[in-house]
């Protein structure tokens, strides 16, 4: 039995998130589509484990996924064979064999998410489903000042949506960067782990800061009190990308 690590890029627009659903969703999930392709290739039942479960409409630039197989398929064949079986909005970047003690979740050292905002008066139809369209002028300096308040180790329960299975809410954000290239604004968040909808709530709050609806003092209070109502709305999913996952050596 071998353990194989895949690195995937995908456009999540056409999927009901990563995890297989039991509620009869009309859209497939990414896990479901990948497992079906692997079962065709390996001729056995396959169960995959990703580094994290992206929600419906969320994308990934580099999502690590592991699985075990007893098949004789050469490791160097997985990438090409799977890319021939998978739809065009899922792409295998790499495939390699890893040690038995490696785990995509347990061995993760840090994750980086990127949120993309198209900040222009006119919608770019070619970016539909791949970013947030936002026509109002952004106060990037105010957003950066607010983002700096979140760097470090905090109780982020105010930045977690209801329905989360988390039992602890303390997370560490190592880095937050906000940059603008042309009409695109990028919010990049790097941390040791993230709560349910945490990045989207952060982005929604930064947008509310730009609009003057949320003050920096409210963010500080939310970190202390855990009061979700002090913050901005949850930003839509289509602008969010899992950018990369770093692992301990």
In a domain, 103, yes or no: no
Would you report the helix, strand and coil content of the chain in percent, each value rounded to 5? Answer: 30, 30, 40
Q: Which residues contact 174 (CB under 8 A, 6 or more apart)?
A: 110, 151, 190, 191, 192
Q: How far is the C-alpha of 99 from the C-alpha of 82, rounded, in Å?
A: 22
Residue partners of 117: CB distance under 8 A and separation at least 6: 131, 132, 134, 138, 184, 185, 186, 187, 203, 239
Residue 170 sits in the same domain as residue 80: no
Burial of 55 (0-12, 13-18, 19+ CB in 10 A): middle
By three-state DSSP, how is residue 43 classified?
Answer: coil
pLDDT 10s digits, 149-207: 999 999 999 999 987 888 899 999 999 999 999 999 999 999 999 999 999 999 999 99
Structure token digits, residue 110: 């840090």
The CATH number given to whatever domain includes residue 57 is 3.30.70.580
Mean pLDDT of the region 49-66: 97
Is the same domain home to 23 and 48?
Answer: yes
Which of these three, 98, 132, 161, is where a domain ends? 98
Q: Which residues are catalytic?
A: 55
Same domain, yes or no, for 128 and 18?
no
Residue found by looking up tokens 């999502």 in the block: 63
Indicate if 115 and 165 belong to the same structural domain: yes
Query: pLDDT category, 23, cuts 50, 70, 90?
Result: confident
**Residue 140 confidence class, pLDDT cut points 50, 70, 90:** very high
Same domain, yes or no: 113 and 172: yes
Q: Are residues 145 and 68 located together in one domain of the fold?
A: no
Number of domains within the chain: 2
Please check whether residues 20 and 71 belong to one and the same domain: yes
Residues with Cβ within 8 Å of residue 150, at least 6 apart in sequence: 173, 176, 202, 219, 223
Residues 94 and 198 in one domain: no
Average pLDDT over residues 111-133: 97
d(CA 73, CA 39): 12
Residues 53 and 156 in one domain: no
Indicate if 122 and 87 belong to the same structural domain: no
Query: Do 194 and 124 fall within a single domain?
Result: yes
162 versus 109: which is more confidently predicted?
109
Q: Which domain holds residue 84?
A: 2-98
Do residues 214 and 87 make contact, with C-beta atoms less than 8 angstroms apart? no
Residues 203, 137, single domain; the answer is yes
In a domain, 179, yes or no: yes
- pLDDT at 249 (0 to 100): 76
Q: Which of 72, 98, 124 is at the close of a domain?
A: 98
Reported as a single tens digit per residue, the pLDDT across 75-89 is 999 999 999 999 999
Number of neighbours of residue 81 by Cβ within 10 angstroms: 19
């Amino acid at each position: 039995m071998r353990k194989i690590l895949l690195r995937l890029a995908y456009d999540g627009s056409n999927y009901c998130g990563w995890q297989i659903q039991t509620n009869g969703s009309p859209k497939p999930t990414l896990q479901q589509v990948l497992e079906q392709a692997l079962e065709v290739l390996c001729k056995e039942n396959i169960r995959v484990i990703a580094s994290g479960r992206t929600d419906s409409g969320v994308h990934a630039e580099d999502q690590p996924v592991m699985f075990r197989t007893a098949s004789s398929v050469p490791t160097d064949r997985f990438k090409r064979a799977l890319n021939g079986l998978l739809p065009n909005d899922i792409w295998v970047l790499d495939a390699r064999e890893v040690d038995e003690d490696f785990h995509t979740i347990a061995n993760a050292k840090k994750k980086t998410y990127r949120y993309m905002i198209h900040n222009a008066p006119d919608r770019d139809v070619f970016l539909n489903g791949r970013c947030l369209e936002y026509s109002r002028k952004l106060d990037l300096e105010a957003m950066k000042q607010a983002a700096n308040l979140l760097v470090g180790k905090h109780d982020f329960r105010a930045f977690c949506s209801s329905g989360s299975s988390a039992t602890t809410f303390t997370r560490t954000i190592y880095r937050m960067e906000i940059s603008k290239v042309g009409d695109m604004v990028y919010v990049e968040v790097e941390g040791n782990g993230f709560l349910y909808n945490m990045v989207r709530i952060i982005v929604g709050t930064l947008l509310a800061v730009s609009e003057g609806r949320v003050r920096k003092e409210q963010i500080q209070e939310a970190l202390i009190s855990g009061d979700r109502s002090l913050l901005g709305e949850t930003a839509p999913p289509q602008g969010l990308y899992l950018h990369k996952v770093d692992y301990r050596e």
